[in-house]
Structure 1
Amino acid sequence: MMRKLMLSVLIGILFSVMVRGQEDNRTSKQDYSTWQVRLRGVAIIPSESADIEVIGGDVDISTAFIPELDFTYFFTKHIAAELILGTSNHDVKATDTSVGTINLGDVWLLPPTLTMQYHFTGGDFKPYVGAGVNYTIFYGVDESDVVDHVDYENSVGVAFQAGFDYYLDDAWFINLDVKKIVIKTDATIDATTALGATVGADVDINPLAIGFGLGYRF
C-alpha cells in the first residue's frame, strides 16, 4: 500500500513538472538543446540488509561495475527528465545464519529509472539534482549447488540523484553522477535438498550508483 501511494505521488509530481515545462516552451524562445545522451561507467555498490526466516542471518551482495546509457530531455533550460538504462550482475550470499554462510549464486538486476531534474545554469560547469522512480526486474538467476532455486520479486522504489556536466565545447561534456536507488525484494530460497526447508527473506539492496562518463547534447 505504501509503495503504491509513494508511486502515485511521484507520478503526480512528474506529470505536473512536465506540463509546466511544456507551457514554458510555448511562451519562451527555445535557446537550449532539447536532448542529451550520456555513456557512463558506473559502480553499483549495494547497501544491503535482510530479514531471513527460520535460519536468521544477513545478506552479502557484491559490488558491480557496468556501462550505463542514459537519455535526457529538456522541457526548459532548468527542467529535464532522464531515463537511465543499465543492468548489473551480483553474487549473493546469506551470512551469519544458523547453518553458516550459504552461497545463493548470482542474479541480474535491470532497474530502468526515470528522474525529473533541476539543472543550474551558468558557465561550463552545470550541476543538477533529481528524484524519480525505478522498477527493478530480477532475471537470469544462477543458483549455487547448495540451493535448488531462488526466486526474487520485482521491485518498485524511488531514486535520488545529484551530479554535474562540465562542457568541453558547445556539444560535448563530461559527467559525474551519483544516485541512491531504493530496491527491496522478497526472496524465496528453496534449499530442500541441502537444508530440508524453503526459506523466505525480506532483502533491502538500496545501492549507491556512482558514474562517470562522456555526454553529447543536440
Structure 2
Amino acid sequence: MATALMLAANPAAAQEAGDIQVRVFATGVLPDGEIDEVNLDLVGLPANTQTEASDNVVPTVAIEYFVSPEFSIETICCLTQHDVDGVDGAAGTELVSDALLLPATFTAKYHFNAGGVSPYVGAGVSYFIWLDDEPGATAVALGADDFNLSDEVGFVLQAGFDVPLGDDGFGFSVDAKRYFIGTTARWYANGVKVIETEHNLDPWVVSAGVSYRF
C-alpha cells in the first residue's frame, strides 16, 4: 500500500489513445460446477447428487487497446483444465476428467485515473470453448464411453488496478473477473445419451502480474 501511494504521488505518463498494454498474469480459475438441472437420467443417479469443478492456476496474457485515456478494450488468452467430481449424493466420484477450456473473453474497461495508481471496472462477453472433454473414471466404470460439454456464451464483470513502475511503460496489475455462464454435460453409453445435466460454471478468475505499455 505504501508503495502504491508513493507511485500515485509521482505518477508516470498517463495512458493515451492508441496505447497498447500487454499484461502477463498468474491466474487462479475458481469455477463452481454445480448441477442446476437434470434433463435426462437413464442410470438412476443417487438422490441429491451434486457436483463441483476443480480449481486451477494457469498463466494468462491480456492485450489491451486504449481508445482514449479512460476507455480501453481488452482480450485475454489462456487455457485451463478442470475435473468435475461428485459431492452430495455422489461423494468421491469422478464424472469429468481433464476438460480443457478456452475462455475467449472481450471486455470494455473504464479507468478512473490515468497515471499513478489506476483502478478500473469493466464488463463484456465470453465464449467458453471446450477443446477436450472426457468422462471421468467413475463414469467410465459405470459404462460411459463418450462425453461432451456444450460451448456457451455468457457475460463477465471485471475490476482491478494498474500501478506504473517507473517511466518506461512497465507496471504491476491485479485483476478480478466474475463470469456468468453455464454448460450442458452429456454422457453416452454405446452411442445412447444416458445422462444430460445443466451446470453453473460461473467462475471467479483472479490474476496478478506484470504489464508493459507502449
TM range (shorter): 0.7 to 0.9
> Conserved in 2, the CA contact under 8 Å of 1:124 and 1:168?
no
Q: Does 1:151 align with 2:166?
A: no
Specify the code of the residue in structure 1 equivalent to 2:28.
A
Q: TM-score, normalised by structure 2?
A: 0.80
> Conserved in 1, the CA contact under 8 Å of 2:130 and 2:150?
yes
Distance in 2 between residues matched to 1:169 and 1:209, nearest whole Å? 28
Alignment match, 1:186: 184
Q: Does 1:39 align with 2:24?
A: yes
> Conserved in 1, the CA contact under 8 Å of 2:73 and 2:109?
yes
Alignment match, 1:173: 171
Residue 90 of structure 1: CA displacement?
0.3
Number of residue-to-residue matches in the alignment: 186
Higher mean Cα deviation, 119-128 or 41-50? 119-128
Gaps of 5+ in 2: 1-14
| 1:198–1:192 CA distance, 2 compared to 1 (3 A) | farther
Distance in 2 between residues matched to 1:189 and 1:159, nearest whole Å? 28
> Conserved in 2, the CA contact under 8 Å of 1:166 and 1:173?
yes
Residue 95 of structure 1: CA displacement?
3.2
Distance in 1 between residues matched to 2:107 and 2:145, nearest whole Å? 38
Distance in 1 between residues matched to 2:210 and 2:16, nearest whole Å? 22
Distance in 2 between residues matched to 1:175 and 1:34, nearest whole Å? 16
Q: Summarize the alignment of residues 1-218 of structure 1 with structure 2, pairs less than 5 Å apart.
A: 31=16, 34-50=19-35, 51-52=37-38, 53-54=40-41, 55=45, 57-97=49-89, 101-104=92-95, 105-143=97-135, 144=137, 145-146=140-141, 147-170=144-167, 171-191=169-189, 198-218=194-214
Residue 120 of structure 1: CA displacement?
1.3
* 1:98-137 deviation per Cα after TM superposition (whole angstroms, max 9, x unaligned): x665312220110110000001115410000000000000
SS in 2 for 1:199: strand
Structure with the bigger RCO (C-alpha within 8 Å, sep 6+) is 2
* 1:183-211 deviation per Cα after TM superposition (whole angstroms, max 9, x unaligned): 21111012569xx9710000111100000
SS in 1 for 2:88: strand
Specify the code of the residue in structure 2 equivalent to 1:209.
V
SS in 2 for 1:112: strand
Moved over 6 A (4+): none
Residue 174 of structure 1: CA displacement?
0.3
Gaps of 5+ in 1: 1-29
